[in-house]
Amino acid sequence: MGILSNLEPAPVFKYFEKICSIPHGSGNTEAISNFCVSFAKEHGLDFLQDKKNNVIIWKKGTKGYENSPSVIIQGHLDMVCEKEEGCNIDFEKDGLKLQLENSIISAKGTTLGGDDGIAIAYALAILESDDIPHPPIEAVFTVDEEIGMFGAAALDCTPLKSRIMLNIDSEEEGYLLVSCAGGITVTAHLPVKRNKIKGIPVTVKVSGLKGGHSGIDINKGRANSNVIMGRTLYTLSKLFVFNILSINGGLKDNAIPRETTAELIFEESISISEVKEYLERLNKTYAYEYHVEDADIKLGLKESVSDNADTDGYNAFDDNTTSKIITALENFPNGIQSMSHDIEGLVQTSLNLGVLTTCENEVKYNYSVRSSVGTEKENIVDRIECLTQMLEGTMSYTSNYPAWEYNKDSPLRDLMVKVYEEKFGKKPVVQAVHAGVECGLFAGKLPGLDCVSYGPNLKNIHTTQEYMEAESVLRTWEYTLEILKRLK
C-alpha cells in the first residue's frame, strides 16, 4: 500500500505516487518517458515517443463522443530537483520520499514535483478509465519544461489534430490562465582590451536586495543589482578616475539579480575615503528610492581585489573599454517597458539584466526579454542590438519562444468559467501571466488553438518546502471530468 493509497481520487494518487518513485528531473527524463510508453502499451493505446523523450498517447472518445472534437490534455514530465542540506537522495537514481499530513502532500527533504507530476497523473487516470465520458483525447507529455521548454519547442505537432487544449500546469485552484508572455534570452558581448595600470585596488559591491522572478516579480519595484552597479559606476566616473578589473552579478537571466561586484583600480592620487563617503551618500539615495521593496540595499567598498598585480600594475580594462562597459550598463533598457491594454495590471513587455559576467576578452550582458506582443519583443531586442553595435559589440540569442496572446473569443474559456461557477458557486479568476508557459509554443504550432491552463493548489514550488493539497487535487479532478463531459 502506498502512502497516498487512502486518498481520493484513488487512480490519480496511484499514478502520482508511481511518478514520484521514478527519477525525473530535468535532463533525466528517459525513465519517466519509458514509463508512459509502457502504460500506453499495457492499455492498448496508440502512442508516439520522440528522440527528446516527449510522449503523445491517443485514446478514442467514449460512447456518444466518438465524433466529438478531440481535446489535448497536456503537462510536462520533468521536475525541478532541489534538496535540503544533508539529504542523501540522488535525483539521478532515487525516487522521492513522500509525506502525508492532514491531507498535505510533500517530499522529505526535497521538492515534490507536483509541478507537473500531477498533470501526468490526471491524464493517465483518464486514459486508464472505462467509465469517464470524454471526447477523443490526445495526451501530450513534454520534457525539460523547467530548463527552457525544450521538449515543447522540439515536439513535432503534425500528428496532433485537436485545437482544444487543457494545460494542467498552473498552481492555484480557481485561477484560469489564458495568456502568457513570449520570450527570448539575449546576450550582448562587449569586447575587452586591457592595459597594465597601477593604482589603488578596491571592490565595490551592491547587495541586500530581494531579487525575484524576472517575469512574475518584475512589477514589484525591486532593484536590479546590475543596473544599480551601472548607475553607481557612472556617477563615480564623473568625480573620480578609475578602471575596471572585473564586473560580475546575478546567477540566472530569469531572476532579478541580488548582488553585483565590481573590482576597480583608482588613480593613486585619489582619496579612497572620499570615494567611500560618496558611496555612503549614494547608498542613502538608493535606500530612499527603494524604501518599500528594497530598503536593505547595501553599497559597500573595501580596499582589495582578487587580481594579483605584478610590478607593472594590474591587468585592467583600458580607458575606452571601461567607458563602454559603464555606458552599456547605464543605457541598456531594463524593467517594465509597457503595460497591457486588454488586461488591467498585466505587464505586457519587460526585460531583465539577469547575469553580468566578465570573461577574459569580453563582458557578457545576459537579458531575459518578455512580451505578450511579438513585435514589442522584437523592438526591445533591436534596441539592445543597436547600442551594442555602437559600442562595437556582438549579439547572441537562445530560447526564443512565442507569446500566447489573449484570445477574446474562447469557447473553452467560457465553458470553463461556466462549469466552475456551477460547481463551486463563485467565479474563477481569469488571468494572464508575464512569464513563459508551454501554451505559447503550442499556440504557435497549432493555429487556432483554444487553450486554458489551470491546476490544483501547489505551494512553494521549486523549493524543498513544496507541498500539494489533496482536497484541491480532488476538486480539480472533478472539475476536469465535468469539462470533458461538456466537450461533446
Of these residues, 115, 116, 138, 145, which one is catalytic?
Answer: 145
What pLDDT, on the 0 to 100 scale, is given for residue 129? 97
Sign (positive or negative) of CA dihedral 81, 84, 90, 93 = negative
What pLDDT was estimated at residue 311?
82
Q: Does any domain span residue 264?
A: yes
Q: What is the pLDDT of residue 308?
A: 76
**Residue in the structure block whose three cell numbers are 511518478:** 19
Q: What is the CATH number of the domain that holds 207?
A: 3.30.70.360
Q: Both 329 and 317 in a single domain? A: yes
Number of Cβ within 10 Å of residue 303's Cβ equals: 12
Catalytic member of 78, 171, 217, 253 = 78
Determine the distance from the C-alpha atom of residue 58 to the mean position of all C-alpha atoms in its chain, rounded to a whole number: 29
| Residue 251 to residue 121: CA distance in whole angstroms | 33
Contact 118, 455 (CB under 8 A): yes
Rounded CA separation 106/97 (Å): 8
For residue 300, count other CB atoms closer than 10 A to its CB.
15
4 part of a folded domain:
no
Amino acid code (one letter) for 298? K
CATH of residue 43 = 3.40.630.10
Domain boundary among 338, 371, 399: 399
Does residue 200 sit in the same domain as residue 273? yes
Judge whether 2 lies within some domain.
Answer: no
pLDDT for residue 245:
97
Residue 5 lies in a domain: no
Residue that terminates a domain, selected from 373, 399, 425: 399
Q: Are residues 136 and 205 in the same domain?
A: no
Contact yes or no for 187/367 (Cβ under 8 A):
yes
Q: What are phi and psi of 421, to 5 degrees?
A: -60, -45
Measure the CA angle with vertex 342, ends 336 and 343; round to 5°: 65
Instruction: Report the first-to-last Cα separation within the chain, whole angstroms.
Output: 37
Return the pLDDT at 463. 85
The answer as to whether 439 is a domain residue is yes
The DSSP result for 45-80, as a single string, is -EEEE-TT--EEEEE---TT-TTSPPEEEEEES-B-
Q: Is 382 a known active-site residue?
A: no
Whether 71 is in a domain gets the answer yes
The pTM of the full predicted model, rounded to 2 decimals, is 0.78
Residues 154 and 273 placed together within one structural domain of the fold: no
Residues 160 and 278 in one domain: no
Same domain for 134 and 202: no
Residue 342 confidence (pLDDT): 78
**What's the domain count of the chain?**
2
Q: Which of 195, 190, 202, 142 is nearest to 437 (CA)?
A: 142
Could you tell me which residues are beta bridge partners of residue 450?
Answer: 164
Q: Which of 351, 382, 399 is the last residue of a domain?
A: 399
How far apart, in whole angstroms, are the C-alpha atoms of residue 336 and residue 370? Answer: 10
Tell me the C-alpha distance between 3 and 16, whole Å: 11
Same domain, 262 and 232: yes
| 30 in active site | no
Same domain, 101 and 33: yes
**Do both 82 and 61 map to the same domain?**
yes
Please report the pLDDT score of residue 147 as a whole number.
84
Residue 338 lies in a domain: yes
Q: What is the pLDDT of residue 208?
A: 95
**Per-residue pLDDT of the chain in tens (488 residues, 90 and over written 9):** 799 999 999 999 999 999 999 999 999 999 999 999 999 999 999 999 999 999 999 999 999 999 999 999 999 999 999 899 899 999 999 999 999 999 999 999 999 999 999 999 999 999 999 999 999 999 999 999 998 899 999 999 999 999 999 999 999 999 999 998 889 999 999 999 999 999 999 999 999 999 988 888 999 999 999 999 999 999 999 999 999 999 999 988 888 999 999 999 999 999 999 999 999 999 999 999 999 999 999 999 999 888 778 888 999 999 999 999 999 999 999 999 999 887 888 999 999 999 999 999 999 999 999 998 889 999 999 999 999 999 999 999 988 888 888 888 999 999 999 999 999 999 999 998 888 889 999 999 999 999 999 999 999 898 899 999 999 999 999 999 999 999 99
434 with 295, same domain: the answer is no
What is the predicted pLDDT for the residue at 213?
A: 83
In a domain, 3, yes or no: no
Could you tell me which residues come within 8 angstroms of residue 10 by beta carbon, excluding any fewer than 6 positions away? none
In this prediction, residue 251 carries a pLDDT of 86
- Judge if 138 and 54 occupy the same domain: yes
Closest CA to 156 of 367, 431, 446, 420: 446
Same domain as 458, residue 314: no
What integer pLDDT is reported at residue 402 of this predicted model? 85
Range of the domain at 170: 10-181+404-486
